[in-house]
Structure 1
């Protein structure tokens, strides 16, 4: 009986050690052991740098489309409201009840005809193509989608100038 317990506890110890090794142990990965980052990650993790190759501006594309036209219609209706008031105390207490009719507006949106509008088929994009991305000579002709201000800076830069920016996404 004692031998089986010893074997089970040994297997559990090995399992705990293996799982601890797989999880990373909390050091070197930006965590302080409880799953919360300690702020040691640098701000350069989300930026890319390389040599300017080409820039591209893709304009937004729209088309005419139709949709149901919603119109707000309102109707005035009434409902009966019960009112009560009490006076006196004990056996002389009296309750008086009366009714009034109150008016209110009920509004809904209903379909009435169609309307035309401009539907966006393709959103506007600003793209920059880099060579030697993050210092890797083999990574050439990589496109990055950027903000319009970064695009303006890249457009003004000379060809093969070193650029560093935060890309909104890779590809264009």
Structure 2
């Protein structure tokens, strides 16, 4: 199994290297002012590659808006409490006086009190677990100018949702979605 995955990775890497080498075009192409690759080859078809549109921004005609409220369920979890006990430990102290051969070290011990704390389980507690977070969605028609792409749902921020509510149907909208589907 592992060898098949490795072989697949090698094949994809080789394909990408070949494709990128072909796209660079050597000496018969370059880039224009927008950074798009241009070709000076022969032929009647347009071989100019356009830079892809901003991938995170979508545009289309407003179709429908939808608000999905947050959905929670009652759940239980262990209730943890902090339990502390008093404890003592013996601490060693030392002090040195003098230098060289006349150096003397005095050692003494004291008892230090401290709290030894730990979290322990003490029953259970109930809480509200979020099953579905709150979402605001907008459906677009003619996404990216493609009339075949209708009823595509995008998750958006509340501000974009509010803006979509204030517009009429089939009004052109452009926004940055937070997710896809609804």
Same fold (TM over 0.5): yes
Distance 1:101 1:147, change over 3 A: same
| Aligned counterparts, 1:49-128, within 5 A | 49-128=59-138
Indicate the SS of the match to 1:46: coil
Unaligned runs of 5+ in 1: 1-17, 31-40
Unaligned runs of 5+ in 2: 1-14, 36-50
Distance 1:120 1:83, change over 3 A: same
Alpha-carbon displacement from aligned partner over 1:14-67 (angstroms, at most 9, x marks no partner): xxxx98642243976x7xxxxxxxxxx788331111111110000011111111
Q: 2-side partners of 1:79 and 1:25: how far apart? A: 72
Number of aligned residue pairs: 146
Other-structure match for 2:172: 162
Structure number with the bigger relative contact order (C-alpha 8 A, sep ≥ 6) is 1
Q: 2-side partners of 1:43 and 1:99: how far apart? A: 75
Q: Normalising to structure 2: TM-score of the pair?
A: 0.71
Alpha-carbon displacement from aligned partner over 1:110-140 (angstroms, at most 9, x marks no partner): 0001111110011111111111111001111
Distance 1:77 1:25, change over 3 A: farther
Indicate the SS of the match to 1:56: strand
Question: RMSD of aligned C-alpha atoms?
Answer: 2.6
Q: Normalising to structure 1: TM-score of the pair?
A: 0.75
Shift, 1:86, TM fit: 2.1
